[in-house]
């Protein structure tokens, strides 16, 4: 009796669940320390000390009714202003509180903005490889996903195909940089070119095309690489941010949307996002966590820990002969499968108790994702297994 739309989603979900269960069984059979689970994007470094301090301070100083009560559906004004000023300082933008909507993580933010923008049949472009949940988020509002196929040389967006596939029905383009699953950071040059293409298409179709920047991994960038702030390159940009990775708070569901005044119908979108937050049942982002993150806007989880994992895993796999772009951000490595059907490779890896995610889940078959948000020891101890895999293929 469940909804037709849900049936397929439940089946897909069962497949992921089965993989998870298999990992659990392996851990029981061989011991958790002998299973190398690289399948989950769940941070393994704790929240920085500032988070606990901030929560304690709020509990101590703030009135219960204020701390746990309702506020505007878009969030506390002082929290939104603090977020805006922090962005202005870091990126030279000129936001204030009305440009910020506090959200239930980036996933909540993406749903709010898609609910706000999409009419049934509107097209939303995504750039492979991409986070598979976008399909569901767009489908929630009866939008149509249009996939730009992957550029496997650099994993920068394939701009030629992007340009070709934009139509008068294109309402939004979602970009995710640093990228899940490749770890690639889209370069300033690419962003500028993409902006030019979108401007040109807007003129041609007399439409507004929104660039939605999904950036939960913004703070996880290595080697001093700059992650361009997209509102500065393209007027119709909307940012969906999350503190899940920067502060290791994925379970707390806290993030925000940035809706610039300069975006077409900016103030209308701001008002509608406020309403969408309410009617989608979020009502508002969790109140104590809003106050807590506002005190931690400059704090970061242990990024050097991830960086050591990145170097060790990347160098180790390269030495074994695997082929992979060196990731500049996030905590994923996207490795070319030695066989065309990467699912065969994932199955083979299980023999060595190594769990990987097939690239097909990100619309990019022939590759596998390795999430290195694991302990350093896991990486070191998995290396002999990777060596055997390399020998096998």
Site for its own copies in 281-340 (CB under 8 A): 281-289
Distance between CA atoms of residues 33 and 165, nearest Å: 47
Contacts 24+ apart (CB under 8 A), 302-308: 302/45, 302/46, 302/48, 303/219, 303/220, 303/222, 305/45, 305/376, 306/45, 306/220, 306/222, 306/331, 306/372, 306/373, 307/222, 308/376
- Taking CB under 8 A as the binding criterion, the range among 105-113, 195-203, 305-313, 348-356 that sits at the site for its own copies is 105-113
> Does residue 271 interact with its own copies by CB under 8 A?
yes
Q: Which is nearer to its own copies, 65 or 92 (CB)?
A: 65
Matching residue, tokens 């030019």? 196
- Taking CB under 8 A as the binding criterion, the range among 23-31, 109-117, 345-353, 379-387 that sits at the site for its own copies is 109-117
Q: Which is nearer to its own copies, 44 or 180 (CB)?
A: 44
Q: How many residues would you count in the chain? A: 393
Among 81, 163, 265, 302, binds its own copies (CB under 8 A): 265
Q: Is 328 helix (H, G, I), strand (E, B) or coil?
A: coil
Among 61, 63, 153, 298, binds its own copies (CB under 8 A): 63
Among 199, 208, 302, 311, binds its own copies (CB under 8 A): 208
- Taking CB under 8 A as the binding criterion, the range among 263-271, 303-311, 322-330, 351-359 that sits at the site for its own copies is 263-271
- Beta strands 255-258 and 237-242 are antiparallel
What token pair was written down for 253? 């569901």
> Does residue 61 interact with its own copies by CB under 8 A?
no
Query: Measured from the CB of residue 147, what is the shortest distance to its own copies in angstroms?
Result: 18
> Does residue 252 interact with its own copies by CB under 8 A?
yes
Query: Measured from the CB of residue 380, what is the shortest distance to its own copies in angstroms?
Result: 20
Matching residue, tokens 């960038």? 221
Q: Which is nearer to its own copies, 67 or 146 (CB)?
A: 67
List, as one string, the DSSP characters of 134-178. Answer: HHHHHHHTT-EEEEEPP-TTT-S--HHHHHHH--TTEEEEEE-SS
Q: Which is nearer to its own copies, 147 or 271 (CB)?
A: 271
Query: Measured from the CB of residue 275, what is the shortest distance to its own copies in angstroms?
Result: 5
Query: Measured from the CB of residue 335, what is the shortest distance to its own copies in angstroms?
Result: 24
What Å distances lie between residue 390 and 15, 302, 345, 393, CA to CA? 27, 31, 10, 5
Q: Are 122 and 131 in contact (CB under 8 A)?
A: no
- Taking CB under 8 A as the binding criterion, the range among 41-49, 162-170, 321-329, 337-345 that sits at the site for its own copies is 41-49
- Chain mean position to CA 179: 7
Surface-to-core class of residue 193, CB atoms within 10 Å of its CB (0-12 exposed, 13-18 middle, 19+ buried): middle
Query: Measured from the CB of residue 33, what is the shortest distance to its own copies in angstroms?
Result: 17
Distance between CA atoms of residues 315 and 328, nearest Å: 14
Query: Measured from the CB of residue 51, what is the shortest distance to its own copies in angstroms?
Result: 8
Among 83, 84, 87, 104, binds its own copies (CB under 8 A): 104
Q: Which is nearer to its own copies, 83 or 104 (CB)?
A: 104
What token pair was written down for 187? 């370069």
Q: How many residues line the site for its own copies (CB under 8 A)?
A: 75
Q: Are 45 and 306 in contact (CB under 8 A)?
A: yes
> Does residue 184 interact with its own copies by CB under 8 A?
no
Q: Which is nearer to its own copies, 133 or 188 (CB)?
A: 133
> Does residue 132 interact with its own copies by CB under 8 A?
no
Q: Which is nearer to its own copies, 97 or 328 (CB)?
A: 97
Query: Measured from the CB of residue 265, what is the shortest distance to its own copies in angstroms?
Result: 5
Distance between CA atoms of residues 124 and 133, nearest Å: 13
Q: Which is nearer to its own copies, 295 or 326 (CB)?
A: 295
Q: Which is nearer to its own copies, 128 or 276 (CB)?
A: 276
Among 80, 98, 115, 235, binds its own copies (CB under 8 A): 115
Query: Measured from the CB of residue 309, what is the shortest distance to its own copies in angstroms?
Result: 16
Q: Which is nearer to its own copies, 92 or 251 (CB)?
A: 251
Start-end of H helices in the chain: 4-30, 49-61, 64-68, 77-91, 105-117, 133-140, 159-165, 188-205, 266-279, 287-294, 303-319, 342-351, 376-392
- Report the chain's C-alpha Rg in angstroms: 21
């Amino acid at each position: 009796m469940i909804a037709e739309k849900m049936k397929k989603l439940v089946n897909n979900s069962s497949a992921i669940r089965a993989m998870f269960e298999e990992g659990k069984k392996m851990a029981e059979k061989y011991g958790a320390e002998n299973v190398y689970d690289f399948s989950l994007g769940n941070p393994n470094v704790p929240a920085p000390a500032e988070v606990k301090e901030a929560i304690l301070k709020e509990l101590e100083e703030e009135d219960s009714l204020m701390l746990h009560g309702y506020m505007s559906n878009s969030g506390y004004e002082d929290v939104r202003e603090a977020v805006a000023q922090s962005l202005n300082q870091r990126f030279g933008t000129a936001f204030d509180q009305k440009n910020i909507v506090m959200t239930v993580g980036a996933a909540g933010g993406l749903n709010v903005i898609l609910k706000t923008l999409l009419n049934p049949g509107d097209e939303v472009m995504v750039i492979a490889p991409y986070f598979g949940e976008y399909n569901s988020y767009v489908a929630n509002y009866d939008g149509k996903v249009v996939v730009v196929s992957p550029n496997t040389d650099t994993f920068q967006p394939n701009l030629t195909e992007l340009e070709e596939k934009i139509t008068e029905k294109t309402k939004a383009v979602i970009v995710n940089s640093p990228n899940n699953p490749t770890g690639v950071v889209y370069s300033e040059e690419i962003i500028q070119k993409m902006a030019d293409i979108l401007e040109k298409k807007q003129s041609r179709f007399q439409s507004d095309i929104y660039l939605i920047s999904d950036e939960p991994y913004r703070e996880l960038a290595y080697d001093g690489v700059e992650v361009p702030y997209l509102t500065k390159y393209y007027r119709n940009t909307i940012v969906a941010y999350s503190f899940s990775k920067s502060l290791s708070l994925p379970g707390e569901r806290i993030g925000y949307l940035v809706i610039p005044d300069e975006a077409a119908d900016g103030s209308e979108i701001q008002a509608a996002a406020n309403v969408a937050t309410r009617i989608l049942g979020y009502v508002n982002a969790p109140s104590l966590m809003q106050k807590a993150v506002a005190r931690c806007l400059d704090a970061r989880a242990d990024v050097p820990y991830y960086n050591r994992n990145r170097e060790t895993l990347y160098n180790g796999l390269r030495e074994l002969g695997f082929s992979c772009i060196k990731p500049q951000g996030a905590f994923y490595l996207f490795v070319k499968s030695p066989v065309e059907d990467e699912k065969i490779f994932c199955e083979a890896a299980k023999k060595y108790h190594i769990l990987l995610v097939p690239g097909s889940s990100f619309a990019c078959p022939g590759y596998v994702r390795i999430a290195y948000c694991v302990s350093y020891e896991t990486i070191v101890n998995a290396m002999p297994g990777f060596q055997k895999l390399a020998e096998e293929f």
